Chains A and B, each alone.
Chain A
Amino acid sequence: MSQPFAKLPAWADYGLLPLINLVVAFFVAGLVVLLVGENPIDAAVLMVKGAFGSGDGVGYTLYYATNFIFTGLCVAVAFHCGLFNIGGEGQAYIGGLGVAFIGLSLGDTLPWWVVFPLAIVASGIAGALWALIPAWLQARRGSHVVITTIMFNFIAASIMVYIVVQILKPMNIQSPETRVFGAGGQLPSLGWLLNSVGLNMRSAPLNLSFLISLVAAFLVWVLIWRTKLGYEIRTMGFSPKAARYAGISELRIIIITMMISGALAGMMALNPIMGAQHRLQLDFVAGAGFVGIAVALMGRSHPVGIVLAAILFGMLYQGGAEIAFDMPNISRDMIVIIQGLVILFAGALEHMFRPTLQRIFFGFSRKKNETAAPVTAGGNQ
């Protein structure tokens, strides 16, 4: 039997369905808020206002979104190859070493516009190399990347503790971080961009790497849908048998894809390190690698969807912080619950409402098409 339901139109598939998921997620989150004795509508208003109502709100929202765009792209690229890279967290962490290396060594002497491209390359290389071993193990040994990349997250965390505390931390600082980079290791803020639309960003850390993340999103689109390599990646992702048939080397594609994926995760480190704190602090990734999975799922592994989903999650982070601040009953943990619900409905339960929507949709279109010539199931020659 062929698929009984035809495809939903694109606007319903990419617009309506995520919207329904989101509404349900917020509805359930509202129940949780109600449970702790706060007004969910007030909370929602507070969240949106906190995220978009002021210059610094927008600045923070987009600052968080930058992290999620990079890690979301990381997951998406691997996903197009049929690989589930859970290791964005670790790859971003190691990517931070690349940024720190460039920032510490060149930041004092060279201007930022020379240091920045080098830092992009260094963070990408560091992230890519950290993805290389799991990639090789998958391609050669069949060790599943889900397992190996998770383990590499732990290894990365331990290595970073060692390196930061034992090697990079100056003697006179108590907290686990490097010294502050010189002026060349600090990215310009995007305050002027918000100023141009009449917003005052104040101290929000939005910086140039946001624009770089948008460029990365565009380049990922070009890579996946417009290059030969992307064609090979997608063939492998949809059907490894077809890839073998087409003479595409599994080893080569898996390794290249994972390295691109790791490089994108690594570049996430630019934003907090070079853009905001101007030094490498321990735990700077702060779960962005994992949020990237939800972002990629919700964005359907498409760069446009990823940018939108990343901004949504940026809003949850920033707006959530505002709620936690203003509503004493809602702790920081409650915000994590709400984020979890969004991930649950928008990511994991993505297909829950699809059959219903299809039924409703074709219930309407049937009446509309009653008089039109029907399309036959099997073509006739």
Chain B
Amino acid sequence: MSVAAIELIGVDKRFGTVHANRDIHLAIEKGTIHGIIGENGAGKSTLMSILYGFYQADSGEIRINGNATKISDPNAAIGMGIGMVHQHFMLVENFTVLENVMLGVEGAPLLKNGIAKARAELKRLEQEYELDVDPDALIEELPVGLQQRVEILKALYRGAEILVLDEPTGVLTPPEADHLFRILEQLRDQGKTIILITHKLREIMAATDNVSVMRQGSVVATRKTSETSVEELAELMVGRRVLLRVQKGEAQPGEVKLSVENLTVRDSRGVVMVDNASFNVRAGEIVGIAGVAGNGQSQLIETIAGIRAAVSGRVLLDGQLIDITGAADPGELRDRGLAHVPEDRHHMGLVLAFEEYENSILGYHDDPLYLKGPFLDIDAIKADARKKIEKYDIRPGDPNLKTANFSGGNQQKIVLAREIERDPGVLIIGQPTRGVDVGAIEFIHKRIIEMRDAGKAVLLVSVELDEIRSLSDRILVMFAGRIVGERDAEADEGELGCLMAGVEQLEAAQ
């Protein structure tokens, strides 16, 4: 075996009492795609932040191409040929591709000469790696897939030999993700080393040569991808066997509970976000809305939940109209049996600064159960919160703990417990497992299926196509605000991917 591109020897990092990385030993071969997989909070991001110089390891050694080095800041990392493509792009939206690529390495106080040189270099890189982007296009006008390509070009422009990609597919459609993987393979074939951080098992299997699994700050295993399986990796990640495929029986759809007719919603700038959408959700079925983030799903469910105003259309709950003029009281909708688990649990579903028990009544704080006159009945609220903690296995099980100190999965369970325990007729649920660890995903999926089996109508929105496919009885695909297709649960992934990317629309237009 040749010298490893990166070798980590005994890297250890603590934040206060949190042991984020413990005694990490990891060798990444030159010219390979190495996947790092683990749940949220397993220490992946910390490890990469150490590699990129954001943090210093408490102990341990980093060797690049066999030489022990000290990476004191991101500039040092770039100097050693490490490039990072962040989960959230670090691009200036109203700059052109070229301006973004040369940002920080302009080369001279006056831009004139730098621009010409940068343009030539960018051209060379684009040809060498077949990464076509128009250098003069504005970032904000590019689709996310291309924006990501610009991030990769930025790293290559700075001479990166080792590319670190942090959850790169979160914002991509399946075809775009496949395209990205092809680009990565090409980069590898030209001698670059690539580290791919993800929590999606499918991507590891599809794109990597080797894979390391992290759990609770440690690297628990490293495997050749060809010699492992999804089941084994999942088990290593969680530390026990996990059910990856949700078990569920046939749906028994009943009467229509929620009915949306010709709904059109604009955002504050007047852009149409939901375009003439119509559909029904029946009792005892899960209707999933698939789509790439930002195609109007968020606006759709927020409008139904009474949070956002619609321009036109009607929404009926149990045959009764819902006020969608923006003046609706979400509290009143709750009384009518509409529960809503919002996509954005950090800002909408929870108040992170509150203690757990305070969040367990958010939206239901008008209930006399929790009140003594104008005063909060704190004993009653806490007793109620404890019951939910027990039933939903929320950890740590302390109603006085600040909500921000719970992990993503447990925060989501706090929201779910609050909404589901009210026994609503209709449950709207957005991104039920975003930022949630594998173990909790299983639990949350089971609860959603239970709701369906109890005869509730469930409207599910998720950007995880796998989740939509495994939970839904019917799948609606949203693209550019419109519902562009309805498929049953057995629909082919490729077909759904094409719908999500608006391919049919493009073809029809041509």
The proximity string for A residues 208-242 relative to B, scoring 1 for CB distances below 8 Å and 0 otherwise, is 00000000000000100011111110110011011
Kindly list chain A residues whose C-beta atoms are within 8 Å of the C-beta of B333. Answer: 247
Contact B376 A226 (CB under 8 A): yes
Kindly list chain B residues whose C-beta atoms are within 8 Å of the C-beta of A198. Answer: none
Q: Which of A222, A228, A239 contacts B365 (CB 8 A)?
A: A228
Interface check B179, CB cutoff 8 A:
no
Q: Which of A6, A366, A375, A380 contacts B239 (CB 8 A)?
A: A380
Contact B358 A231 (CB under 8 A): yes
Interface check A378, CB cutoff 8 A:
yes
Contact B396 A242 (CB under 8 A): no
Q: A235-B351, A381-B393 are in contact. Are A247 and B18 (CB under 8 A)?
A: no
Residues 1-44 of A contacting B (Cβ, < 8 Å): 1-7
- With both chains docked as a complex, state the minimum distance between the C-beta of A323 and any C-beta of chain B, in angstroms: 41
Contact A6 B350 (CB under 8 A): no
Contact A377 B440 (CB under 8 A): no
Kindly list chain A residues whose C-beta atoms are within 8 Å of the C-beta of B42. Answer: 378
Contact B347 A379 (CB under 8 A): no
Contact A241 B376 (CB under 8 A): no
Contact A5 B15 (CB under 8 A): yes
Interface check A349, CB cutoff 8 A:
no
> Looking across the interface, which residue of chain B has its beta carbon closest to that of A246?
B363
Q: Which of A228, A358, A377 contacts B20 (CB 8 A)?
A: A377
Q: A242-B348, A247-B330, A247-B334 are in contact. Are A376 and B18 (CB under 8 A)?
A: yes
Q: A226-B376, A227-B375, A234-B354 are in contact. Are A247 and B331 (CB under 8 A)?
A: yes
The proximity string for B residues 382-414 relative to A, scoring 1 for CB distances below 8 Å and 0 otherwise, is 000000000001011000001011111110000
Residues of chain B at interface, number, CB under 8 A: 64
Interface check B133, CB cutoff 8 A:
no
Kindly list chain B residues whose C-beta atoms are within 8 Å of the C-beta of A136. Answer: none
Cα distance A247–B374 when bound, in Å? 17
Contact B216 A376 (CB under 8 A): yes
Kindly list chain B residues whose C-beta atoms are within 8 Å of the C-beta of A247. Answer: 306, 329-334, 363, 366
Cα distance A206–B13 when bound, in Å? 57
Kindly list chain B residues whose C-beta atoms are within 8 Å of the C-beta of A231. Answer: 358, 365, 376
Residues 305-339 of B contacting A (Cβ, < 8 Å): 305-307, 329-334
Cα distance A120–B290 when bound, in Å? 60
Residues 332-381 of A contacting B (Cβ, < 8 Å): 358, 362, 365-366, 369, 374-381
Contact B351 A242 (CB under 8 A): yes
- With both chains docked as a complex, state the minimum distance between the C-beta of B37 and any C-beta of chain A, in angstroms: 14
Cα distance A377–B17 when bound, in Å? 9
Q: A5-B15, A246-B331 are in contact. Are A378 and B395 (CB under 8 A)?
A: no
Contact B347 A241 (CB under 8 A): yes
Kindly list chain B residues whose C-beta atoms are within 8 Å of the C-beta of A377. Answer: 15, 18, 20, 41, 43, 217, 407
Cα distance A109–B425 when bound, in Å? 65
Cα distance A379–B332 when bound, in Å? 35
Cα distance A227–B340 when bound, in Å? 25
Interface check B342, CB cutoff 8 A:
yes
Contact A239 B348 (CB under 8 A): yes
The proximity string for B residues 356-368 relative to A, scoring 1 for CB distances below 8 Å and 0 otherwise, is 0010001101100
Contact B239 A226 (CB under 8 A): no
Contact B16 A6 (CB under 8 A): yes
Residues 255-288 of B contacting A (Cβ, < 8 Å): none
Contact B363 A375 (CB under 8 A): no
Cα distance A10–B396 when bound, in Å? 20
Contact A244 B443 (CB under 8 A): no
Q: Which of A2, A238, A375, A380 contacts B439 (CB 8 A)?
A: A380
The proximity string for A residues 243-285 relative to B, scoring 1 for CB distances below 8 Å and 0 otherwise, is 0111111000000000000000000000000000000000000
Contact A1 B45 (CB under 8 A): yes
Cα distance A379–B414 when bound, in Å? 14
The proximity string for A residues 58-93 relative to B, scoring 1 for CB distances below 8 Å and 0 otherwise, is 000000000000000000000000000000000000
> Looking across the interface, which residue of chain A has its beta carbon closest to that of B363?
A246
Contact A245 B340 (CB under 8 A): yes
- With both chains docked as a complex, state the minimum distance between the C-beta of A37 and any C-beta of chain B, in angstroms: 46
Kindly list chain B residues whose C-beta atoms are within 8 Å of the C-beta of A242. Answer: 347-351, 362
Kindly list chain A residues whose C-beta atoms are within 8 Å of the C-beta of B41. Answer: 2, 376-379
Q: Which one of B18, B352, B378, B402 has the greatest number of beta carbons of chain A within 10 Å?
A: B18
Cα distance A235–B353 when bound, in Å? 9
Contact A381 B378 (CB under 8 A): no
Contact A366 B14 (CB under 8 A): yes
Kindly list chain A residues whose C-beta atoms are within 8 Å of the C-beta of B402. Answer: 7
Contact B406 A379 (CB under 8 A): yes
Contact A378 B408 (CB under 8 A): yes
Cα distance A244–B333 when bound, in Å? 13
Q: Which one of B20, B333, B352 has the greatest number of beta carbons of chain A within 10 Å?
A: B20
Contact A245 B349 (CB under 8 A): yes
Residues 37-70 of B contacting A (Cβ, < 8 Å): 39-43, 45-46, 49, 55
Contact A238 B374 (CB under 8 A): no
- With both chains docked as a complex, state the minimum distance between the C-beta of B361 and any C-beta of chain A, in angstroms: 8
Q: Which of A3, A6, A381 contacts B409 (CB 8 A)?
A: A381
Q: Which one of A366, A374, A376 has the greatest number of beta carbons of chain B within 10 Å?
A: A376
Q: Which of A226, A227, A245, A362 contacts B16 (CB 8 A)?
A: A362
Cα distance A238–B408 when bound, in Å? 19
Kindly list chain B residues whose C-beta atoms are within 8 Å of the C-beta of A5. Answer: 15-16
Q: A226-B375, A231-B365, A242-B348 are in contact. Are A380 and B330 (CB under 8 A)?
A: no
Kindly list chain B residues whose C-beta atoms are within 8 Å of the C-beta of A7. Answer: 402, 405
Kindly list chain B residues whose C-beta atoms are within 8 Å of the C-beta of A232. Answer: 365
> Looking across the interface, which residue of chain B has its beta carbon closest to that of A369?
B17
Cα distance A5–B348 when bound, in Å? 25
Interface check B437, CB cutoff 8 A:
yes
Interface check B248, CB cutoff 8 A:
no
Kindly list chain A residues whose C-beta atoms are within 8 Å of the C-beta of B20. Answer: 377
Interface check B27, CB cutoff 8 A:
no
Kindly list chain A residues whose C-beta atoms are within 8 Å of the C-beta of B352. Answer: 238-239
Cα distance A242–B353 when bound, in Å? 12
Residues 405-439 of B contacting A (Cβ, < 8 Å): 405-410, 437, 439
Residues of B within 8 A of A (CB): 14-20, 39-43, 45-46, 49, 55, 216-217, 239, 305-307, 329-334, 340, 342, 344, 347-354, 358, 362-363, 365-366, 371, 374-376, 378, 393, 395-396, 402, 404-410, 437, 439-440, 443
Can you list 18 A-B pairs with a CB-CB distance of less than 8 A? A1-B45, A227-B375, A230-B376, A231-B365, A232-B365, A238-B353, A239-B352, A244-B348, A245-B307, A247-B329, A248-B331, A358-B16, A375-B18, A375-B19, A376-B216, A379-B395, A379-B407, A381-B439
Sample of 20 more A-B contacts, CB < 8 Å, known A1-B49, A247-B334, A249-B329: A6-B17, A6-B18, A226-B376, A227-B374, A227-B376, A228-B376, A231-B365, A234-B354, A241-B344, A242-B349, A242-B362, A245-B348, A246-B330, A247-B331, A247-B363, A366-B17, A380-B39, A380-B239, A380-B395, A381-B393
| In the A-B complex, the 6 residue pairs with the closest CB atoms | A378-B41, A247-B331, A381-B439, A379-B407, A374-B19, A246-B363
